[in-house]
Amino acid sequence: MLKSSSVMLKVCLTSGLLLSSLLSPVSVVPLASKVLAAENVQAPAAALPKVKVIGTGGTISGKSQDETSFQNYKAGTLLIQDMVDALPNKDKIAEVTTSQFGNSGSSAYSMQDLYDLSLQVDEALKEQDGVVVTTGTDTMEEIAYFLDLTVQSPKPVVVTGSMRPWTVIGSDAQANLYNAIKLAGSGKTKYFGTVLMLNDTIHAAREVTKTNDYRTDTFESPQLGMFGFIDESNIRIYRAPARSFKPVDEWATPFDLTKIKKEDLPKVEIAVSYQGAGGEAIQGFVDGGAEGIVTAGTGAGGISKAMSEARQKAIEEKGVMFVTTTRTGSGSIYSGSKGVIAGDNLNPQHARIMLLVSLAFSKDFDTVKGWFDKYGAPQVDLTSK
C-alpha cells in the first residue's frame, strides 16, 4: 500500500493535483519529503549581496589605553580587515570584502584625498552591491557630502564610524559597522546617494551634522529629520531624498571627478560673523588664494559691516564667489546678490563642500548658482505627475 501511495504522490506532485482526497494530512508530509529527497530537489540558496568596506581610520579603528578608556585612545590603529573579521554573523547579511584607504583621523584628509576616495568608491561599485566607508566623526558629514555629490553610481554608499574606540567596553563601533554593512547590502538606500548611519539611525549626508563631542547619539538632521532606523533585522525607511525620484538617466550630478584632476579642486574657506567681526578673515582668505568663501552669518545670514565691505571688495577686485549661510544650526537663506549665492538650508560646512565641488567644474557665477538651486537645495516636485 505504501509503495502504491508513493507512486500516486509522485504523480500528484508533478501534476499539481490535490492529494487530500487520497491520503490523510498526516501521511502526505513524510511521503512528499521522501519523494523530493529521492529526486535531490533542493531550493536554490539566495545569493548574499556583495559589500566592500573601505577603511579610512578614525575612532572606530581606535585602540584605547585600556578597556575603560573612553576618551584616552589612539585613533586609526586597527586595520579594517581585522575589524571585519571580528564581526560575528556577517556571513548571514553579506559577502564582505575590505580595502584600507588610510588610517587617520577624518580631519587629516585633504580634499585631494577625498577625490581619490570618491573614485575608489565608484570603482568598487562596478562589482559590489554596496559600499561602506568608515571614517572619523569629526568631519564625517563633510566627507559623506563630498561623496554624495561626486559618486556617480546610484548603488548604496553608507558612511559610518563610532564615538568610542573599538577596544573599550560598551563601544558602539562593532554595532555601527555591522549595521552599516547590513544597510548597504539591503539595497534600501539605492538612489538615495550617500547616507550616514550611526547609533542605528540613517541620515542624508546633505542634512546630517555632528551635535555633540562625546555622546553616541551625536548625529542629527535638524528640521528635516532622519530617513529611518535599524532595529536588528528591521530596516525602516520613512522618507526619501528628492534625487531618488529622478529618472535613472538624470540621477547623477554633473560632478564627475573623472573629468577633472584633483589639482582642479579650489581653495574654499568659511568666515564666521559675530558681534563686531572684522573683515580681516575674508581679506586673509583672499590673499591666501581662496576662490570661494562661505559666510556663516548671524540670524538669517547677516554679517558685520566690516565683513560686508571685505566681501564686496573680494567680489569686485578678485572675482571671489560667496555663499551665505546661517551659524544658528538650522534655517534657510533665500536671498543672494551679485557675487553672493543663497545657501538655502545647507550649514556652513556643507555649503563649503558644495561650493568647492562646483568651482572645480565651473567659474561662471550663474552656472554655479544654478547648481546650488538644483543639486545643493533639491526639492521634491511631483506636480508634473
- Per the CB < 8 A criterion, the answer to whether 53 and 120 are in contact is no
Q: Residue 107 carries which side chain, given as an amino acid letter?
A: S
Backbone conformation region of residue 306, classed left if phi is above 0, alpha if psi is from -120 to 50, else beta: alpha
| Sign of the torsion angle spanned by Cα atoms 183, 184, 186, 188 | positive
Give the list of residues 6+ apart from residue 343 with CB closer than 8 angstroms, or none.
Answer: 294, 301, 323, 324, 325, 333, 351, 372, 376
Q: Does residue 83 contact residue 55 with C-beta atoms inside 8 Å?
A: yes
| 42-45: Cβ within 8 A, 24+ apart | none
Q: What backbone torsions phi and psi does residue 233 show, to the nearest 5 degrees?
A: -85, -5
Measure the CA–CA gap between 385 and 366, rounded to whole angstroms. Answer: 29
Catalytic annotation, residues? 59
For residues 168-196, one letter each, b for 16 or more C-beta atoms within 10 angstroms of the residue's C-beta and e for the rest, the string is beebbbebbbbbbbbbbbbebbbbbbbbb
Q: What is the DSSP letter of 137?
A: S
CB 314 within 8 A of CB 293: yes
